[in-house]
Structures are given as structure tokens and as C-alpha cells.
Amino acid sequence: MANQFPWISKYPKGVNAEISEPSFQNMSELFSHASDKFADRTAYENMGVRLSFRETERLATAFAAYLQKKLGLKKGERIAIQMPNLLQFPVAFIGALKAGLIVVNTNPLYTPREMEHQFRDAGISAILIVENFAFNLQSIRDKVPARHIIVTSMGDLMGIKGHLVNFVVRKIKKLIPAYSLPGSIAFKEVIREGLKLTLDSPAVSREDVAVLQYTGGTTGISKGAQLSHRNLLSHNEMIRQWFTPYLAKGRKDIMITALPMYHIFALTVNGVLMYHSGVKNVLITNPRDIPGFVKELKKHTFTIMTGVNTLFNALLNNPDFLKLDFSSLHGAIGGGMAVQDAVAVRWQEVTGTPLVEGYGLSETSPVLCCNPLDGQHKRGSIGIPVPSTEVAIFDDDGNQLPQGSSGEICARGPQVMRGYWEKDNTGVFFGEWFRTGDIGIMDPDGFFRIVDRKKDMIKVSGFNVYPNEIENVLAGNPKVLEVAAIGIPDEKSGEAIKVFIVKKDDSLSEQEVKDFCHLNLTNYKVPKFVAFRKDLPKTNVGKILRRELKEAEKKS
């Protein structure tokens, strides 16, 4: 990559402009290499139970052998994995890749309708599902192509403690709705039998698809991004270099994984990179339980953490979090949604370490840009392109715009998907450039800033208004806990701005909100309507769903 790109001069020490050809033929080789190198270290910990790298490899190989020898699954068939962060997830993910299968990551909170669409679209041959959500699968069993169903319980890999966990989940908390899935196989049985079998490792190339990562469907029907072994291997090398300031050789780091591993950010950054780097990964099964999450954090001298803005905000509003020891923390990285300035400032004040923003999509494995981790970050920016990655701004006709212009962020690099699974990909690319659908701008130093999603832009009397800007301003009001802004139809101005606010202080009034906005925004950006709510609709990874707010407005 030529040095004409301004961001390269901002790269931290140890980060090269370009990555080399992947040193592994496939992801299975990467995992096996790390398992041998860090054999006796703890790879994963969940609810106080640990799995070493050696044991993870052993169990993953057993899972793969069962899929291959007992179920007869062939290279290229698809398997869905549907569970929160449990020890079974990495075992199944690594095992499926070892068997040459394509993993279809599935949100466990999906409705039967959403499950049916994804499973039929991907043409899955098998599914591994945690029993908490098996009742949803029961209702669509005859409508999906899976020949094999494997059911796991939360405590399946927790030894003796697992019996207690399962008892509490089933009998005390009653979190397992009744279900009937005739012919399903218990995960424990799969492992027990798989340990007796020998895996015949299939020939998997870098060009073979490794993962179908389904988009959230916010731009229409959910589609599967085809991520190849090359995509994931290249992405891993990019971010391995990027994390150099946080992952010093010889130091035993601890990563907190609160984002679910079926989410692309947690899958490849927390899952793949940390495994390849020999980092202990603490899996948080239910990050929405903030008091429980904080209790877990107290047990670890954690060094790195990833999450989304709403998670960091929730932690900062928990009094027990403020009392934790942050002396080992290098910093935190936010992705998935914009990190609000007020949250980043407060995080720095509380922890003494930065909360920096990165940017990417399911279609790009996901990282395209990230702020430098050596202290040279820019607050309010998504950072600079990672190695071997080009990012540029385009207009609607596919013309690249000069620096400083606002337009659609487009990118190219070896981590970008080949296209959507069995879909017409017309309009997805401008030539080699993947169209992100985000509106952004690049500053003179090569740092990018997202203005907003194209589809969320509000037109007020012909002026473009971006919800992110309004939300960022209001998040700086000490009486505001959470905020979302949308456009609603208006006879005079075409659209009017409406904000939905969760109060931190009950005294906050509509007039205070508008006065605060008048102080910080030009008149046409000031919300016309203010609504107070007890909560805001979110995805299970914490992204606020403006779409649901818009749909509710249409019905009202």
C-alpha cells in the first residue's frame, strides 16, 4: 500500500502498512497451533470453570469427529450454533471448522420466524442449540432443513458445578420452557462418543467459506455474509498487529468477553485473536445482569475489555463498578455502535484508561478502522484503516470524493466478504469497493468519522440531520441516561426530530431537553418532540433500535 495514505504515518510502533500472506492454510490450523503453543494456559473461563487450550482442542476435535463419523456431515455443509457465551461455544465453533463445515452463528433470542428464515436461507444440515431456547426450534422443526439437532445445557462443560448450574436454571429460575425435539442428541453424548473417534481432517483451503455471518436485517431481510478462511486469517493478522500495545509478549493478559460470541466483533477479536495470542478469555453469559457482571469483574485482574456504548454506559452507572481495581487495565474498545463522547470521557475519569472506538461490519470480518491503541486516538472518531485496508468516501454514483467531503464510506481489503450467500449482490459493491451504507468523512490526518447511517438520516426543511449528532449532544446532559433520535413526518418541514430519553434524574423536563439542545445545536437540529421512556428497544448486543421506535410511531 503506497504511503500516499495519510493514516499510515499514524500507525503505532509494530504495526505495518501491509500484512503478509496468511501463514495458515485454514482456521483449524490457527487454532491447533495456538492450542499446542499455550497448551497449559487457561483459554476460557465461564462461571468460575476453566478450560485450558489443550482441553479446548481435545473437546473440539471430539466434536468434529462426531459430526464427521456419526452424523456423516461433509465439508461445506452448514451447522448453526445458537447459544450465549458458554464454554460450549468455542468448542463447537472450532470443532465445526475442524470438520470442514461452515458455521452459521445464530442469536439465541431470535423468534421462531427469524430462526426459520436464517436456517432455510443457509440450508443448514445441523444445529447446536442451548436448551433454554429449544422450544422455539420445536415450533419450526418441520420447516427447517436440519437433519440433526444437538441440544446442550448451560452446565454441560462445567463438571460437578454443572449439575448445580443446571438445577438452578431448570428448577429454581425455571428458565427452560418445555420442549419436545424427537431424535435430538445431547451435547454430552456427542463429546463422550466423539472422544472415541478419530477425525479425518478434510482438505480446507483459504478460499473456502468458514462462516455465514448473518446481518441484523436492519436494511431489509437478513442476509448471510460469506466470510472465507482467508478473510478471517487476514483479519486476524491485521488486528494482531493493531493490538500490539495491549498484548505485550510474555505478559498474561485477561480479556473480558461480554459481547456474545455469535456477534462478529466478539467472534473474531475476542474469540480468534485472543486464542491465537494465548490470552485468557472470561466469558460473560448474561451481560445484561449488570450487578452480576460487576461481581464477576471483581474476581479478575482484567487487562482488556470490549463492548458497546450502552454496556459501558450501564457499567459507569453502577456504583460497585466504580469501586473496582483498574490498575491492570490497558484500555477498552467500543464497536457495534457509536461511542458517545460523554461515555468515553467518563470511562477515562473512572478507569484511568481510554475507551477508544473501532468500526466494522459483519461483511468485513468486522474491523475496517480502529483508533490507535498507543494513546494517539481521537475521541469521536472511528479511527484509521487497519493494515492492508483502504477506506474512502464515495458519492451515490460511485465516484470517489476528495478528502474532507461527506459521503458513503466504502472499503476494500482481504477481510471483506466475497458477497452474500445465494443472493444478488447488485449494488453491494462499487467495483472492488464494498459499500457500508454509512455516511462519513475523513479528516486531514486520515481519521474517519461516521456522520450516520444513510437510512437514518433526517431531512428537516431540506437540511440533513444525523441522529448520532443529536444523541451525542444529549448524552452529555448529566440528567440523561440513554437517548435515541428519529425523524417523523411533518407537514411543514417534511420531517421533524423526535427524541426518546431514559432519565437518569427524574427532574428532567421536556423544556430542559430543548433548552440544552438550543445551547449545543443549530435551530433546525433541535428536537421538536421529546418523549420519556423507562427503556429503549435494543438488540441483544445493546444497539439501540431506532427502527422499532419509528415503527411504533407509525402505528400511533
Sorted by where each begins, the domain ranges of the chain are: 28-33+53-204, 384-453, 457-555
What's the grid cell of residue 434?
Answer: 464494498
pLDDT number for residue 555: 87
Rg (CA), the chain: 23
Whether residue 218 is predicted with pLDDT greater than 70 in this model: the reply is: no
**Polymer length of the chain:** 556
Q: Which CATH superfamily is domain 384-453 in?
A: Luciferase; Domain 3 (2.30.38.10)
Any idea what the Cα angle at residue 392 is, between residues 416 and 431, rounded to 5°? 55
* Domain 28-33+53-204 sits in CATH 3.40.50.620: no
Residue 218: Cβ within 10 Å count: 15
Tens digits of residue pLDDT in 273-320 = 999 999 999 999 999 999 999 999 999 999 999 998 989 999 999 999
Of residues 107 and 267, more confidently modeled: 267
Q: Tell me which CATH code domain 457-555 carries.
A: 3.30.300.30
What's the grid cell of residue 415?
Answer: 477481510
What's the grid cell of residue 322?
Answer: 466504580
Whether residue 453 is predicted with pLDDT greater than 80 in this model: the reply is: no
Beta carbons of 174 and 180 less than 8 angstroms apart: no
Tens digits of residue pLDDT in 41-88 = 999 999 999 999 999 999 999 999 999 999 999 999 999 999 999 999
Rounded to 10 degrees, the C-alpha dihedral 141/144/147/153 comes to -50
Of residues 35 and 451, more confidently modeled: 35
User: Residue type at 368?
Assistant: L
Q: Where are the alpha helices (DSSP H) in 451-509?
A: 467-475
pLDDT number for residue 416: 98
Judged by DSSP in three states, 160 sits in helix
- 205 phi, psi to nearest 5 deg: -100, 170
pLDDT number for residue 216: 55
Whether residue 189 is predicted with pLDDT greater than 70 in this model: the reply is: yes
Whether residue 464 is predicted with pLDDT greater than 80 in this model: the reply is: no
Beta carbons of 195 and 62 less than 8 angstroms apart: yes
Q: Where are the alpha helices (DSSP H) in 11-68?
A: 27-37, 53-65
What do you get for the CA distance between the two ends of the chain, in Å?
53
For residues 486 and 457, give the distance between their C-alpha atoms in angstroms, rounded to a whole number.
Answer: 8
Q: Considering the chain, what percentage of its residues have pLDDT values greater than 70?
A: 98
Q: Considering the chain, what percentage of its residues have pLDDT values greater than 90?
A: 86
Tens digits of residue pLDDT in 319-346 = 999 999 999 999 999 988 789 999 999 9
Q: What is the mean pLDDT of the chain?
A: 94
